[in-house]
């Protein structure tokens, strides 16, 4: 099949297929006499593997290693598990960082009057100021 058909069958864009081929992530596909790439089941399986790994947030370096292990039928599964466990730890750390960001932003938003006045603890914090510890009363300007 050609690159368009492989793209539809794998869910990977033709542009990304070309990129993966260029960086050596996928093994070079066969070429026709007119130098067009041809894709078979092996390449489709690799492209689906890459798409799923990217969907799980693995880095290109991790995907390269996982793909290499997947191709090696004599691999020890402990190497695959080690990569997955490290990725889990990285994801959990990122989640914790994001939850801390949400907490900070929630506090800043709570402290902001959100009225017509120009002073804003959110902007103050972004410029290196400190956020107030208690929300200011929301008063109407008359």
Query: According to the model, what pLDDT value does residue 85 have?
Result: 98
Query: According to the model, what pLDDT value does residue 27 have?
Result: 78
Query: According to the model, what pLDDT value does residue 37 have?
Result: 83
Query: According to the model, what pLDDT value does residue 140 have?
Result: 54
Tokens of 118: 């120009």
- Would the CA dihedral through 105, 110, 111, 117 be positive or negative? positive
112 class by beta-carbon count within 10 Å (0-12 exposed, 13-18 middle, 19+ buried):
buried
Query: According to the model, what pLDDT value does residue 139 have?
Result: 55
Measured in whole angstroms, the distance separating CA 119 from the mean position of its chain's CA atoms is 36
Query: According to the model, what pLDDT value does residue 142 have?
Result: 46
Report d(CA 41, CA 1) in Å as an integer: 9
Over the stretch 67-93, which tens digit does the pLDDT of each residue have? 999 999 999 999 999 999 999 999 999
CA gyration radius, the chain: 25
CATH architecture type of domain 1-57? Orthogonal Bundle (1.10)
Asked if 117 and 141 count as a contact pair (C-beta separation under 8 A), the reply is: yes
Q: How far is CA 49 from CA 30, 70, 86, 95, 137, in A?
A: 19, 9, 19, 25, 55
Within the chain, which residues score under 70 in pLDDT?
Answer: 28, 129-142
Query: According to the model, what pLDDT value does residue 137 have?
Result: 56
- Domain segments of the chain as ranges: 1-57, 76-137
């Amino acid at each position: 099949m050609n690159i368009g058909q492989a793209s539809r069958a794998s869910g990977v864009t033709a542009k990304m297929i070309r990129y993966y081929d260029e960086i050596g992530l996928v093994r070079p596909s066969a070429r026709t006499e007119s130098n067009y790439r041809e894709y078979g089941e092996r390449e489709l399986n690799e492209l689906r593997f890459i798409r799923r790994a990217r969907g799980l947030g693995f880095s290109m370096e991790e995907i390269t290693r996982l793909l290499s292990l997947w191709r090696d039928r004599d691999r020890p599964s402990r190497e695959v598990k080690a990569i997955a466990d490290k990725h889990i730890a990285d994801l959990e750390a990122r989640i914790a960082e994001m939850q801390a960001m949400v907490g900070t932003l929630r506090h800043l938003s709570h402290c902001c009057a959100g009225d017509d006045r120009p002073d804003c603890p959110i902007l103050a914090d972004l410029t290196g100021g400190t956020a107030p510890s208690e929300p200011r009363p929301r008063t109407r300007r008359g």
